[in-house]
Structure 1
């Protein structure tokens, strides 16, 4: 994961160094362990490696040329504190049976359809409007523990983006280097041409 992230960050440094400046300092291993204990799960090693490189990102730039753009295809990397806060909020809604009357989940790939939100999903990036990219530790049959999926707050689709964090970042860096994913100006703002690096 470290090599993949290094390639990704090098691309950002060359093409939009402000994004790199928005990354936080590394998380402490004690912070990671505390979050795991509170959520009752174990983070995949690849995600722990990422947190030990950067504990998410700030939604501001020291010197801002453009409006803020999240590093993960316009999605902002969450800090450990934000990950736990998101999990606690969703867990409370689940426990209060808020999701019981929601539409049935439409799974694109091996995602369990009985959960609108699953307490074994780790939100790792957000678009700021309640839509997240998650690591799925409880996949449906045929899935992979640690697969990367979408979560939409007002849409029932749950899509498997990739079988693992490493595989996903391998595809991201490939698509950035060959120009499939790129930064563009849209209405005076700098944005990625692919939201959340979700592919087609």
Structure 2
């Protein structure tokens, strides 16, 4: 992990937005940040992505509920009540998208969680809808700063041709936030070898975007598989200080994004 690019968790959405927008503004020239100038936008492969997968994520949510109840203490890991349809409709209007049914089902389960340090997804919190909007607006400001150029900074995608290698795409909807401008999110604008609604890694430090699963249900099922198999750590060793004490056991990394890449055989986050 590069300590200069992936910083410690920052509390509060406003501070996180400043860290994202202000930090980028201070090194907005791609030549300054990456050591080279950005080239022309990459050539998009021919074809169309696979359509949104029709799925019922209730079984995956039930598995997570069972595991969380057995392993996570309620005093540290507390979800919010379900989101309302009005709140979901309001978010869809702001984002200018039709929210996938599985996304609505997820938020009718819980409207995220408020603790930015103890998150249910290997230390990462599921964002409340209001914070989804805040993070999306922060990225919109960064895109405006780059004069609408999604490719102002060089990037890549994995698997090749499945995910837009842009630095910013307004049709990426954040699910989580690590406090440093990096997300797990829903991709509503995939490239032809991908699928609408796939779940990806993207963000301030994620030069190479990675597809984690081809649907939200697939992602939640994968998380449940990892947890049920015993692949987790919930305590720290003597004298150890970790960014998150709920983390993967194998590989033994503190940040889930890094571990997810290793588990999937994806390339590293930096170009």
Query: Structure 1-normalised TM-score?
Result: 0.87
SS of 2:175's equivalent in the other structure is strand
- The root-mean-square deviation of aligned C-alpha atoms, in Å, is 2.2
Query: Is 1:6 paired with 2:62?
Result: yes
Unaligned runs of 5+ in 2: 1-56, 264-271
Q: How many residues align?
A: 192
Contact kept in structure 1, 2:185 and 2:200, CA below 8 Å: yes
Query: Is 1:87 paired with 2:136?
Result: yes
Alpha-carbon distance between aligned partners in 2 of 1:20 and 1:42, rounded to the nearest angstrom: 33
SS of 2:132's equivalent in the other structure is helix
Query: Is 1:150 paired with 2:224?
Result: no
Q: Deviations over 1:3-37 (max 9, x none)?
A: 21121121011111337851001100000001101
Contact kept in structure 2, 1:83 and 1:123, CA below 8 Å: yes
Alpha-carbon distance between aligned partners in 2 of 1:19 and 1:142, rounded to the nearest angstrom: 43
Partner residue, 1:103 = 153
Query: Alignment partner for residue 69 of structure 1, among 109, 118, 136?
Result: 118
Query: Is 1:133 paired with 2:188?
Result: no
Partner residue, 1:59 = 115
Contact kept in structure 1, 2:146 and 2:152, CA below 8 Å: no
Residue 179 and residue 117 in structure 1: after superposition, are their counterparts in 2 closer, same or farther (change >3 A)?
A: same
Contact kept in structure 2, 1:19 and 1:69, CA below 8 Å: no
Partner residue, 1:35 = 91
Bigger Rg over Cα = 2
Deviates more, 1:92-101 or 1:47-56: 92-101
Distance apart, 1:89 and its partner CA: 1.4
Partner residue, 1:48 = 104
* Greater fraction of residues in strand: 1
